[in-house]
Structure 1
Amino acid sequence: MEYTKVAVTVTPSNEIANDLLMAQMGELGFESFSETDYGFDAYIPTKDFNSSLLKSIEIPFEDTKLAFTNEVMPDVNWNEEWEKNYFQPIIIDDKCIVRRPFDKVEGSYKHEILIEPKMSFGTGHHSTTSQMLQFILETDIKGTKVLDMGCGTGILGMLCAKKKAASVVGIDIDEWAYNNAIENLALNNISNMTIEMGGAEKIGERSFEIILANINRNILLEDIKKYQKSLVPGGKLILSGFYQEDLEIITQECQKHQLNYYSHKNDNNWVAAAYILAK
């Protein structure tokens, strides 16, 4: 698939501004982001790109200026691109490490996840992904059926698989993510997880004890009712991809569907929250 890269220059450099902009652009159809010295690069399928999309992007900081440039990018070796941009292994609570096959690390970890980071979102560097990994480490996964919705590289589902889930289903609407996740399963020799391409309609009539969804606020609000129908009573729904100020509306929507608030994490204003379906 052909992608368009939009280079976003943020002046002065501001990590919070970057996060706010990425959230807006995610809702406009941009699928992947990588930080740069000047701001970040955002990627969207060329068929979905229109320069008028950029006119709706705003930043609530008066002293911050934005500039955009765009170029069409054909299929490339995304491993080489990530190599140029310095991928650092991620360590979660000294229990889990996410790294590329050739990264050299010291020490040993209970759970090791190998990934070939390509264009798909979810390498573990973003606060939402790392907080989801923390929730999984804290959750009893053994013997459960797990759904990883919007699975990206597949690392959330793979950690569940390594924690001896009975089965894991990963679903993502992006073709890049779908193909990358399948490669990562093979790289980790995981046999109890499968990957499917599509949206929430792919869930069908299946039921799960645990559902993970690291997407964005609007999609979560739309699909919470679908997740609830697929959770067994007492099952856990873990959500991320939204801000602290969105937690109330997410919780209200969950409560409409008998999903009771359990706990949440906050990192740099990004939130991950867990809910339990009433028995």
Structure 2
Amino acid sequence: MAWIQLRLNATADTAETISDHLMELGAASVTFLDAQDTPVFEPAPGETRLWGDTDVVGLFDAITEMEPVIAELKTLPELAEQMTYKVEALEDKDWEREWMDSFHPMKFGNRLWICPSWREAPEPDAVNVLLDPGLAFGTGTHPTTALCLTWLDGLDLADKQVVDFGCGSGILAIAAIKLGAQEVIGLDIDPQALTASADNAQRNGIEDKLTVYLPKDQPENLQADVVVANILAGPLRELAPVISGLVKPGGQLALSGLLQEQAEELRAIYGEYFELNPTAIDGDWCRLDGIKR
């Protein structure tokens, strides 16, 4: 399969936001490179540029029309002053294999490891989740997922029912089961996410404890002891009554997928239903969590 690579010069402060926009615009993958080690941008004669320290590289299917992608990127505040980029065709390679080689085991909290299914677990006696995300979001590498995994690791989930709202690859659902949850229900609007979650549950030998549904098919009057929703600020805002209704009185909720500047608005909305803890922060991203009144 042929590919097109779009490389943008950025800074450490803007790279993550640019990466998110590239994924929204259809990039199959996004990687960060040290700009000092990859001098691919040639200044025009007589031009002096102040380079950022990071190159953000998006990989697109070769049939992608790049002009609309570039036009959309030029509207971003992070790129408004000067957008320096390079578009190039790439030779056909096994990009999935290259991505697999860069996905390493990661530890969250005191006992939880997320391990690629094709690698050996560093601590065989720890709580290990074997993961192959397939086409769904969620490897643990993004701060929003990491914040939720750390939160789950700190809970007593023994005999608890958990709902993973927007389950993606199933990483949070499977972690909850491995950490002691009796039953987990995964909800997602994407059928590919349900497939990925079910496959990963089987890979971890806990498929009997995870059930996945499209929202239209979920059980009536569903309520759980613990609910985690790692999606985006917009859906968290719009679906606040739905998500809050999934938590039993006295149950616990964690919300992520939101930027720090979005936290106060979401705190005000969910504060009507929950006693919220201080906001947990990881870089530009954060997590809200609390107990339902």
Q: Which TM-score tier does this pair reach, normalised by the shorter chain? A: 0.7 to 0.9
Which residue is equivalent to 1:270? 285
For the 8 Å contact 1:120–1:180, the answer to whether it is kept is yes
- Paired residues of 1:151 and 1:172 also in contact (CA < 8 A): yes
| 1:18 match | 15
Q: For residue 61 of structure 1, report the CA deviation from its aligned partner.
A: 5.3
Check conservation: 1:9, 1:39, Cα contact below 8 A.
yes
Which runs of structure 1 show a deviation greater than 6 angstroms over 4 or more consecutive aligned residues?
A: none
Is the 1:169–1:193 Cα contact (8 Å) retained in structure 2?
A: yes
RMSD (Å), alpha carbons: 3.4
1:172–1:232: structure 2 CA closer, same or farther, 3 Å change rule? same
Q: Call closer, same or farther: CA 1:41–1:50 in 2, change over 3 Å.
A: closer
Please state how far the C-alpha of 1:7 moved relative to its aligned partner.
4.7
Q: Quick one: distance in 2 between partners of 1:32 and 1:240? A: 23
Matched residue of 1:35: which SS? strand
| Structure 1 counterpart of 2:143, one-letter code | S
Find the counterpart in structure 1 of residue 193 from structure 2.
Answer: 177
> Which of 236, 261, 265 is residue 276 of structure 2 equivalent to?
261
TM-score, normalised with respect to structure 2: 0.77
Aligned pairs for 1:141-220 within 5 A: 141-190=157-206, 191-196=208-213, 198-199=214-215, 202=218, 204-220=220-236
Residue identity opposite 1:260 in structure 2: E
- Structure 2: runs of 5 or more not aligned: 34-54
Displacement after TM superposition at 1:69 (Å): 5.8
Measured at CA, do residues 55 and 90 of structure 1 come closer, stay the same or move farther in structure 2, by a change above 3 Å? same
Mark the CA change 1:145 to 1:106 in structure 2 (over 3 Å): closer, same or farther. closer
Structure 2 Cα separation of the partners of residues 135 and 157 of structure 1: 13
Output the CA distance in 2 between the equivalents of 1:51 and 1:204.
46
AA in 2 matched with 1:80: R
Q: Is the 8 A contact 2:137 2:168 kept in 1?
A: yes
- The 3-state SS of whatever aligns with 1:181 is helix
Q: 2:77 aligns with which of 46, 59, 82?
A: 59
5+ long unaligned stretches in structure 1? none
Mapped contact 1:121–1:153 kept (Cα < 8 A): yes
The AA in structure 1 aligned to 2:285 is W
Q: C-alpha displacement at 1:110, in angstroms?
A: 2.7
Q: Read off the aligned partner of 2:197 and give its amino acid letter.
A: A
Asked if 1:221 is matched to 2:218, the reply is no
Q: Deviations over 1:34-74 (max 9, x none)?
A: 42534143779x9xx99646634413355652548699xxx
Identity %: 21
CA contact (8 A) 1:79 1:118 kept: no
Give, in whole Å, the separation in 2 of the partners of 1:77 and 1:153.
Answer: 22
Question: 1: CA distance between counterparts of 2:222 and 2:95?
Answer: 34
TM-score w.r.t. the length of structure 1 is 0.80
In structure 2, what is the Cα distance between the partners aligned to 1:262 and 1:122?
A: 24
Q: Which has the higher Rg, Structure 1 or Structure 2?
A: 2
Give the one of 39, 51, 59 matched to 2:56: 39
Alpha-carbon distance in structure 2 between the residues aligned to 1:270 and 1:161: 25
Q: CA deviation at 1:217?
A: 0.7
- The answer to whether residue 136 in structure 2 is matched with residue 120 in structure 1 is yes
CA contact (8 A) 1:97 1:109 kept: no
**Contact 2:138/2:170 (<8 A) preserved:** yes
2:45 corresponds in structure 1 to: none
Q: What is the one-letter code of the residue matched to 2:292?
A: L
